[in-house]
Amino acid sequence: MKVMLYILLCFWSLTCDAARVSKPVSFHDELDLARLSSPRQTWQSMIDITDAYNQTVQTEGYTFENESTLDNLEEQMERLFDLRKVPESLRRTVAVEAAVYLREIVARMPPLTLESLPGREQAFAEMRDNYPPIWQIDESDIVISYIQEGPFTGNFQFSERTLKLAEELYESVLELPYVNPEIDGFHDAYFMTPGPMIPSEWVRGLPDWMHGQYLGQQVWQWVFMAVGYLFLVLTLYGLHLVIGTLSRSWTEAWQNRFRLLVPLAALLLAARLETFIADEIFITGEVMQWVRHLSAAIWLIAFIGIIQITANLVIARVTTRMSTRSGSVDLQLARFGIRIGSILLAIVVLIQGLSRMGVPLATVLTGAGVTGLAVALAAQESLRNIFGSMMLLLDKPFQVGQRVKVRGHDGTVEEIGIRSTKIRLLNGHVTSIPNDDVAKADIENIGQRPFIRRVMDVTITYDTPPQKIDEAVAIIKDILSVQVVDGEEINHTINRPGYEPRVAFNELNSDSLNIIVIYWYFPPVYWDYMAHATYVNRALIERFNEAGIDFAFPTQTLHLVGDPQRALEATMLDAASDSAGSS
């Protein structure tokens, strides 16, 4: 329990900005020992830098006071190697470990005279004589090469192959005695000594089984690392639960603001944990590379989460700021654009992150292209609907809340989604039409009409005399004219300039005389229009009844003998008239 408590206290200290002891500037902080101007200088620089590092670590250990000194020496070690193909996040670790391995190897070799390696002028002379720009140390796999591209162009560094084989070469000479005994213990001092936050005496006092090794790391290091990741997971999960509990009654905008704390905390804790594992637990080698990859993956996920949550915040902000309704096409387009932009930004972050983790950019782009092609082929229908929604949002043939007719469906638009458009039909049912079909269909937007146009046929009987026909036309015009009733002006909604009512005796139907009536009702509010139509119809019936004008029905009218209203008149023709008419 005491061990566990101590470990947790160590991790807790990572989240606190405790004041550290001021670090004095040492000799190695001021002096740059890395000289790369020739194979000779590069070799001597490796010896000098690693010796300085070995002396500091074996005499002082890792302390806050010498941290800047060791950091400076590690930076110089990094410059000794050709690291162009090593992920940027791993370069420091890989270079320092390779330098330690090389120094351990050289300490077991006969001393190398510097004259056996060329200076700068001699090296360039050899290259001008068409010798390969590489220099092998005592016919071993330790090679110094001339760099012809990259940030170290024109310098001499240990080759990429030497970097890869350093650990293997060290293991091959591990049983050989030291020629230079001062290096004895350098490997263990670097790989097995904890950082300043973990006392070396405490580590040495652990049981023997805690010092057993697996994959190059001691058991106590694995335990500390496991507890560290457990601490990270529990902290993030606890923060998520606390925010979820406290924000239940909050608005969505405030919930999203506080949700940002989780990925931000993941970024901070993952960075601090990686630093603790590298500098305090001192995980090294391939395991440390996997730790850095895991940290990079956590950062990628956290950054993508921050992007998506920020997109939600921007959408909420736009929703409250836009003057149009929350369901308008402008707002839908803004939401769609923000969402697509956030996805594209997340993809860019993902590609950049994978590239920094060492995945070749060409491989990432090729994989993305193949994946995109496979998705496109498998989801053709969905992609067509997505592009259809984009066309609807850009072209704006209708907006949410407007009444439309699409493919025989008549109703009010409720939602313009990514895949389909939902329409509330006049009978109350909801129908979903794929956006690809909507984009290609003829759309009648009833909701955009500026008025409601009414065309009405008023039919009267054939026995209506001309004077009554004229009176009927006059009555209809009077009903539709602007009037004042009980101090209130009526019919102004159908008498806009340029849209005055039209009345005409236009047809002789087979069963009636037809008077056509056309007027335009402003504004296009349907139920107000229906109330006005009721008023017009009622006034028309009352006035026609008062004037004795009969409406015609779509039937035949029978004239009966003895009907006082319609006396039957018959004229008898004599036979002579019939004969003359027939001839």
Residue type at 554 in one-letter notation: P
User: CA-to-CA distance for 77 and 95, rounded, in angstroms?
Assistant: 6
What pLDDT is attached to residue 493?
92
Contact 512, 552 (CB under 8 A): yes
What pLDDT is attached to residue 373?
72
Residue type at 155 in one-letter notation: N
Q: Which two tokens stand for residue 553?
A: 């029905």
- Tokens 């969402």 map to which residue? 339
* CB-count exposure of residue 58 (10 Å: 0-12, 13-18, 19+): middle
Question: What domains appear along the chain, each with residue ranges and CATH number?
Answer: 31-193 (no CATH), 452-547 (3.30.70.100)
DSSP 243-286: HHHHTTTS-HHHHHHHHTHHHHHHHHHHHHHHHHIIIII---HH
180 — phi, psi (to 5°)? -110, 95
* C-alpha separations of 527 from 393, 443, 523, 540 in Å: 30, 23, 11, 20
DSSP 118-178: --HHHHHHHHHTT--SEEESTTSS-EEEE--SSTTTT-EEE-HHHHHHHHHHHHHTTTSPP
User: CA-to-CA distance for 438 and 387, rounded, in angstroms?
Assistant: 11
pLDDT tens for the chain, residues 1 to 583: 344 444 444 444 444 433 333 333 344 444 577 889 999 999 999 999 999 998 888 888 777 788 888 889 989 999 999 998 888 877 888 899 899 999 999 999 888 888 888 998 998 888 888 888 988 888 888 999 999 888 899 999 999 999 999 988 998 988 889 988 888 888 877 877 777 777 767 777 778 788 787 777 778 888 888 988 899 899 989 988 888 888 777 777 777 788 888 888 888 888 888 888 877 777 777 787 788 888 888 888 888 888 888 888 887 777 777 655 544 556 666 777 777 788 888 888 887 777 766 666 666 667 767 777 776 666 677 777 777 877 887 788 888 889 999 988 999 998 887 788 999 999 999 999 998 889 889 899 998 999 999 999 999 999 999 999 999 999 999 999 998 877 778 898 999 999 999 999 999 998 899 999 999 999 999 999 999 999 999 999 999 999 999 999 876 556 666 666 666 565 655 554 454 444 4
pLDDT tens digits, 465-477: 999 999 999 999 9
DSSP helix/strand/coil, 382: helix
What pLDDT is attached to residue 460?
95
What pLDDT is attached to residue 246?
82
User: CA-to-CA distance for 157 and 28, rounded, in angstroms?
Assistant: 21
DSSP 119-132: -HHHHHHHHHTT--
User: CA-to-CA distance for 91 and 78, rounded, in angstroms?
Assistant: 7
pTM for the complete prediction?
A: 0.51
Contact 198, 281 (CB under 8 A): yes
* CB-count exposure of residue 27 (10 Å: 0-12, 13-18, 19+): exposed
What pLDDT is attached to residue 330?
62
What pLDDT is attached to residue 543?
95
Strand partners, 431: 423
**C-alpha closest to that of 190 among 98, 287, 76:** 98
Contact 519, 458 (CB under 8 A): no
Burial 334-368 (b: 16+ CB within 10 A, else e): bbbebbeebeebbeebbbebbbbbbeeeeebeeee
User: CA-to-CA distance for 549 and 461, rounded, in angstroms?
Assistant: 8
What pLDDT is attached to residue 546?
95
Contact 44, 103 (CB under 8 A): no
What pLDDT is attached to residue 26?
42
Q: What is the dihedral of CA 314, 319, 321, 322, to 10 degrees?
A: 120
What pLDDT is attached to residue 7?
44
Sheet of 443-445: strand order equals 430-434, 420-425, 409-416, 403-406, 443-445
